[in-house]
């Protein structure tokens, strides 16, 4: 048992550190590449619909099927090339707020070193923030395991 809990602690620490390091690298990359961002207007050509798992706190009878909707957006690059991409950020619910043909402000890297994104705080920075928070949760889990079982893991108790 002590080896399993110790393994969990180190795995949580490793995963959390990896997530935080990757998020910091992505933040620096986006911040550095901001001078190469160009704004454009794209139009939604399709909406990808993915089913969500109902939450555990809702009763079985009253569960509504929930979906996540991710817009697929087409825009014209500065070079004249038409680019189609699926946004990392979407919305959830029973219906999408996105509609085919809807026009959205997007931002893209002229050198294509970063993928295109919806031009909003959520579209550009939320993935980095969520990755950082997720990493901190794993690191916090490792710290909790250490404080709860550290003496047993390291043989001091």
Q: Which two tokens stand for residue 88?
A: 């990392």
Q: Is 59 helix (H, G, I), strand (E, B) or coil?
A: coil
pLDDT value, residue 149 = 85
Would you give per-residue pLDDT tens digits along the chain (157 residues)?
678 888 999 999 999 999 999 999 999 999 999 999 999 999 999 999 988 776 665 555 556 678 899 999 999 999 899 999 999 888 888 888 999 999 999 999 999 999 999 999 988 999 999 999 999 999 999 999 999 887 777 776 5
Q: How many CB atoms lie within 10 A of CB 25?
A: 11
- Cα–Cα distance, 112 to 51 (Å, whole number): 31
Q: How far is CA 40 from CA 36, 109, 126, 135, 146, in A?
A: 13, 11, 20, 33, 49
pLDDT value, residue 25 = 96
């Amino acid at each position: 048992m002590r080896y399993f809990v110790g393994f969990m602690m180190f795995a949580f620490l490793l995963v959390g550190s990896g997530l935080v390091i990757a998020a910091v690298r992505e933040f620096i990359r986006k911040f550095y590449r901001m001078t190469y961002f160009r704004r454009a207007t794209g139009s939604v050509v399709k909406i990808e619909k993915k089913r969500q798992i109902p939450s555990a706190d809702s009763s079985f009878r009253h569960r509504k099927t929930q979906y996540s909707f991710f817009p697929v957006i087409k825009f014209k690059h500065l070079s004249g090339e038409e680019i189609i991409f699926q946004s990392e950020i979407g919305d959830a619910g029973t219906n999408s707020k996105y509609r085919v043909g809807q026009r959205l402000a997007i931002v893209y890297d002229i050198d294509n070193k970063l993928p295109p994104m919806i031009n909003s705080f959520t579209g550009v920075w939320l993935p980095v923030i969520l990755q950082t928070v997720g990493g901190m949760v794993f690191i916090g889990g490792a710290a909790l395991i250490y404080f709860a079982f550290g003496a047993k893991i390291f043989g001091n108790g």
